[in-house]
A and B are shown apart, each in its own frame.
Chain A
Amino acid sequence: MQKFINALHTLEDSVLVGILLSIIFLAVTQIGLRNLLDSGIIWGDSLLRILVLWVALLGAMIASRMDGHISIDLASRYLNEKWRHRVELLAYLFSALVCGITTYYSVFFVYYEYLDNTIAFAKIPAWVCQTIIPFAFAIMSLRFVLSALRHLQGRPPETCLSDDIV
């Protein structure tokens, strides 16, 4: 089971890396085409914007896997071990709930767009580009639930902080 999860994580990371590389090369290609040949890929800029959305939401998904989201977290500095534990559990459950609600309503958003059949760029319909929204929020919700469970068992999360970046 753990192997399967690790494989999923690697896949997730790879997609993220692939998208970032595509963004860099597509953006530079567009500049080159515009300045050298006075042309460009017509749907290139639209695709770039969609890729930014995808890279952001994938990054956010991975951040919730690794407890890497921006937070204030003042209480845990001043609470004792027992209360900090309770408070963190509560925060995870709250986050899971909010992401769950957002997932539910973004599914409707994608469905409405599917009915409208708007085109995002080239011949790709907009709803396809938007599926990342409910998907990302569903995964984040799931991960907050898992974090809560892990927390109950007293296991630490996979950390995002490498040795050199505090």
Chain B
Amino acid sequence: MIVFIALLLVVMAFFGAPLFTVILAAALLGFYNNEVDLSVIAIEIYRIASTPILLALPLFTFAGYLLAEGNTSSRLVKLTSAFIGWMPSGLAIVSFFTCAFFTAFTGASGVTIVALGALLYPALKEAGYQEKYSLGLVTTSGSLGLLLPPSLPLILFAIIAQQMGYGEQVAITDLFVAGLLPAFLMLALLSAWSLWYNRNDPIPRESFSLAHVKTAVWEARWEVPLPVFVLGGIYSGFFAVSEAAAVTALYVLVMEVFLYKEIPLNRLPKIMRESMLMVGGILLILGVSLAFTNYLVDAEVPSKLFELIQDNIKSKIGFLLTLNIVLLILGAILDIFAALVIMVPLILPVAMQYGIHPIHLGIIFLANMQIGYFTPPVGMNLFIASYRFNKPITELYQATIPFMLVLLIALVFITYIPELSLMFISH
């Protein structure tokens, strides 16, 4: 009976029922089966209100939506071009860095492809890059930067780990540090590969000009301080993460509406509504998943899962390899937030039994998810890019594959060299 209903729930998820209803149903069923009063579900949802760090979520999300709505994307491209555009394959490298930075602040909700890709794709083609290369670049770069602070998935991973009682080992600030080297490794490998790939194409190089730098910095004068005080504030310990989020939200609001005057006041309610729609979706899934996780722990599912896995996989390397494959598939099918709240509670205890540091696991998890975004046949960014650039999806499969291979190499390094993530953390 239970198996039948569980299957039914999976079918419902594939039929397009909101994920929160599927998880909620699973939790209700579990509690009912254990003869627990079902009003416990409301207690679990109310836990959203007893988790201080969640405050950061609506605030960073709102700030990200505002940034996406204004002209920050084009100023960012200009600024980065002024500094590194003179290098060979300059515009390509500029694209990687701007996309990564933009995604860190706005989340990989497809907004990078829409806002930056639409800007970079024509520019890349005009500069002489091959069409296929340009298309692959903008599609893959839509999720680059997930590992850079203050990306929401990083925060969410920390929140889930803390809810599970691993709070001491998984501070958000540590996770913010841990993602830096892996993210730069990805950027470096992509840049190196681009240099090699475009070595024979006659792409005219721009010359470096101090005047350009000055204009670009002046144009972006209100944005330049943003990462400095957000990240500086967090790393120096002056701000807690949720405080940094509050300051960021207010600062970006004032910047876009009053300083750059790019967003008229009457557009604000719509932007607020859209951003909170996303927050509502994420937090609701988080709330019901906490309930479901509690049921799973009661039913000793993680320890059973561990026994099952250990019977089949003896070594840490084998476990990591399996983990990578499973996560790549999941990343392609599931929304990143849903994947986090569903999979982390199951995987984290198991991974720790294999001696994997929870922060390292978080970085591996998100690195996989990042690649999952454009893993054929169903990665979300493939569909967004196909829609946005009006290209058949099969063309996108071909265009992204080389980029995917480069990032898979980075993933191997990230997975099997824990020091990349843990070097600067006392553990």
Contacts and interface: CB of A to CB of B under 8 A. Distances in A.
Interface of A: 13-14, 16-17, 20-21, 23-25, 27-28, 31, 45, 48-50, 52-53, 55-64, 66, 68-77, 87-88, 90-92, 94-95, 98-99, 101-102, 105-106, 108-110, 112, 129-130, 133-134, 160, 162, 164-166
A148 to B, nearest CB: 12
Nearest to B239: A31
Contacts of A94: 12, 15, 17, 21, 25
Interface of B: 12-21, 24-25, 28, 37-39, 41-43, 45-46, 48-52, 54-55, 57-59, 62, 68-69, 109-111, 113-115, 239, 242-243, 245-247, 249-250, 253, 268-270, 272-274, 276-285, 287, 333-335, 337-338, 378, 384, 387-388
B384 A59 contact: no
B48 A56 contact: yes
A91 B12 contact: yes
B389 to A, nearest CB: 11
Given A56-B283, A60-B283, A69-B20, 7 more contacts: A49-B49, A57-B280, A59-B277, A70-B338, A91-B15, A105-B37, A165-B68
Nearest to B271: A162
B16 A87 contact: yes
A53 B18 contact: no
A95 B288 CA distance: 14
A166 B110 CA distance: 7
Contacts, number: 212
A58 B246 contact: no
A72 B19 contact: yes
A70 B335 contact: yes
Contact of A72 (B274, B278, B285, B334): B334
B242 A110 contact: no
Given A24-B59, A24-B246, A108 B39 contact: yes
Contacts of B249: 24
Nearest to A34: B243
A60 B110 contact: no
16 contacts: A17-B272, A23-B58, A23-B246, A49-B51, A55-B276, A56-B280, A59-B276, A62-B277, A70-B335, A70-B337, A90-B12, A98-B24, A101-B28, A101-B38, A109-B46, A165-B274
B281 A70 contact: yes
B272 A45 contact: no
The 10 closest A-B pairs by CB, nearest first: A59-B280, A69-B18, A27-B246, A109-B42, A106-B42, A56-B283, A60-B280, A73-B16, A59-B276, A91-B17
B41 A102 contact: yes
B273 A75 contact: no
Given A72-B19, A75-B15, A76-B16, A59 B278 contact: yes
Given A24-B250, A68-B281, A62 B52 contact: no
Contact of A99 (B21, B58, B384): B21
B279 A59 contact: yes
Given A27-B55, A71-B19, A91-B15, A60 B284 contact: yes
A15 to B, nearest CB: 11
Nearest to A133: B42
B39 A112 contact: yes
B114 A72 contact: no
A95 B41 contact: no
Contact of A71 (B16, B46, B378): B16
Contact of B281 (A60, A88, A99): A60
Contacts of A52: 48-49, 54-55, 57-58, 283
Nearest to A62: B277
Contacts of B24: 98-99, 102
A73 B18 CA distance: 9
A56 B284 contact: yes
Contacts of B55: 23, 27, 48-49, 52
A64 B277 CA distance: 9
A95 B243 CA distance: 36
A105 B281 contact: no
Contacts of A95: 17-18, 21
A54 B245 CA distance: 18
Nearest to B63: A24
A13 B269 contact: yes
A31 B243 contact: yes
Contacts of B270: 162
A77 B287 CA distance: 29
Contacts of A99: 21, 24
Given A49-B49, A74-B378, A164 B114 contact: yes
Nearest to B282: A70
B17 A71 contact: yes
A160 B335 CA distance: 17
